[in-house]
Amino acid sequence: MNLANKLVNLIFVEIVVMKRILLSLLIFCLSCDISSSKPIDNINPVNTVDIQNFDDMSRAYFASGCFWCVETIYESLEGVEEVYSGYAGGTTINPNYYQVMSGKTGHAEAIEIIYDSSVISFDTLLKVFFDSHNPTTPNRQGPDYGTQYRSIAFYNNEGEQKKIKNYIDFLSTSSIFGKNIITEIKKIDKFYYAEEYHQDYEKKNPYSPYIQNVSIPRYNKFKQKSSNYVKVKDNH
């Protein structure tokens, strides 16, 4: 990449950062009242997804930044049948995107991974989680800022909880990241599916500036590190 292209990409990332900060501030102002109460619960979910065809599959949940990026990474893995974008880790019932962007719901942008445990294990999904993002940056991932972009490893049961804790202990002892790992470990109480336009966002919007300058480079960086997990027929 020549200097001109590097400068263009740098300027784009800075613009993305400013736009997200301004959008978050605007949403915050519009969504809060004098008492600064949290967003109200919604009666109906913003999206309903039919997952009955996956009854015999396992599920895992992670939050590691913008779900457009994370969804792409996990969908590339052998043994992963489907990945859905959504919200988890907070208290607001049936949140929508703008409520989550306010930073007041407690939710993070997260993904649900539906996978065949006979092909890929939870241990591998956990390794991919840490291989594909920076778990040392509080409330930030790449150009995206806010509590909704924080790092969370969710667990379904005590076995998964123990695996997450042990792996974080291993990474910390090994000083692989060089900084303290701030990833939260939380039980997945409820996963709310995000709006339909967020699902498979990269596939639907391959030429989006964000996809081209943030999502794809992040995926390619992961692929270089963990290519042995990626499906043979990967379109990236």
CA distances to 97, 216, 225 from 222, in Å:
26, 10, 5
Q: What stretch of H or E contains 40?
A: none
Distance CA 105, CA 152 (A): 15
Distance CA 233, CA 40 (A): 44
Q: Which residues are catalytic?
A: 66
> Which stretches does DSSP call E strand in the chain?
58-64, 80-88, 108-115, 140-141, 144-145, 151-155, 184-187, 192-193
Provide CB contacts within 8 A for 235, sequence distance 6+.
none
Q: What stretch of H or E contains 211?
A: none
